[in-house]
Amino acid sequence: MMQFRILEDAQAAVGRPLSPLETIWLNHTSNVTDFQLYCYNIVFLFIVFTLIPLPSVMLDVLRVRAFDKYKLQPGVHTPGSIAFQCYKDVMLTFIVVVGPLQISSYPVFKMLGFRSNLPLPSLGEIVLQLLVYFLIEDYGNYWLHRWLHSDWAYNNIHYVHHKFMAPMSFAAPYAHWSEVLILGIPSFVGPALVPGHMITFWLWIIFRNMEALETHSGYDFPWSLTKLIPFYGGAEYHDYHHFIGGKSQSNFASVFTYCDRIYGTDKVNFTFDTL
């Protein structure tokens, strides 16, 4: 009876019958606080950081020859012990830095106007907001990444991330704790300027980190759907940045390549045997 009343109240609030997805959302969230929903981000990040990298990491560690033609630096493979240590270091940063940051940022999240109530956002609204988030994050990340390649910032902060000259997916979030905070700023600027629904925020966190994992995978698979995205950098573009290392003054792109092209830092015609 109580659940039926909740359903009636929700339908009255939106002025129409609920869609199947909205009914599922209502049933799941009616007894869950916004803070608990917000903390799902931590669970999603843990799953993304742990499971999404596994296929490419296993190809790298096991040296599966059938996929060497897609390996950007085929002569370099990551030993299993180093891959596992990288994962443990990433999880430590996740527990000590990322998790507490997510939890402590909840009051700001609510103040900005994010919501979890009905109606759910339309697909068009979600796509448009995600595009805005990606573009804003990409621009801010570009300039912060360029700064991290200044002498002081690289020698004191960014060198940690560049320990992997031939990156793998586990190494995408492998960085100095202060870099995690610094590069995390642009990720929240878009949602702060264009707040939306909790679902949109979840998708933003998931997709942005999945993109970073793919970019650092060390493999360039021709069937990747991201190849259909205009101005997308991808694994090959960013792999070269790692290949050059601390000397690199090009290919700073986070997701897209438009900033590198506009500001003259793109290097699009390269081979991995040029130094």
Q: Mind listing the pLDDT tens digit for each residue in 70-114?
A: 999 998 999 999 999 999 999 999 999 999 998 999 999 989 999
pLDDT band for position 274 (50/70/90)?
Answer: very low
pTM of the entire predicted model: 0.93
Q: What is the pLDDT of residue 270?
A: 57
Alpha helices in the chain (DSSP H): 2-14, 20-29, 34-51, 54-61, 80-93, 99-104, 106-111, 123-148, 151-156, 177-193, 198-215, 234-244, 258-262
pLDDT band for position 12 (50/70/90)?
Answer: confident
Cβ-count burial 173-192 (b if 16+ within 10 Å, e if not): bbbbeebbebbbebbbebbe
Q: What is the pLDDT of residue 5?
A: 73
CB under 8 Å to 10, separation ≥6 — which residues? Answer: 18, 22, 26, 118
How many CB atoms lie under 10 A from the CB of residue 39?
A: 15
Q: What is the pLDDT of residue 154?
A: 96
How many CB atoms lie under 10 A from the CB of residue 220?
A: 17
User: How many residues make up the chain in this entry?
Assistant: 275
Q: Extract the tokens encoding 218.
A: 């060390």
Q: pLDDT tens digits, residue range 132-182?
A: 999 999 999 999 999 999 999 999 999 999 999 999 999 999 999 999 999
Q: Extract the tokens encoding 61.
A: 């560690």
pLDDT band for position 268 (50/70/90)?
Answer: low
Q: Extract the tokens encoding 239.
A: 């792999």
Res 269 pLDDT > 80: no
Res 273 pLDDT > 60: no
From first CA to last CA, the distance across the chain in angstroms is 71
Reported for 35-39, long-range contacts at CB under 8 A and 24+ positions apart, including other chains, are: 35/106, 37/116, 37/198, 38/102, 38/106, 38/109, 38/198, 39/102, 39/103, 39/106
Cα–Cα dist 202/270, whole Å: 36
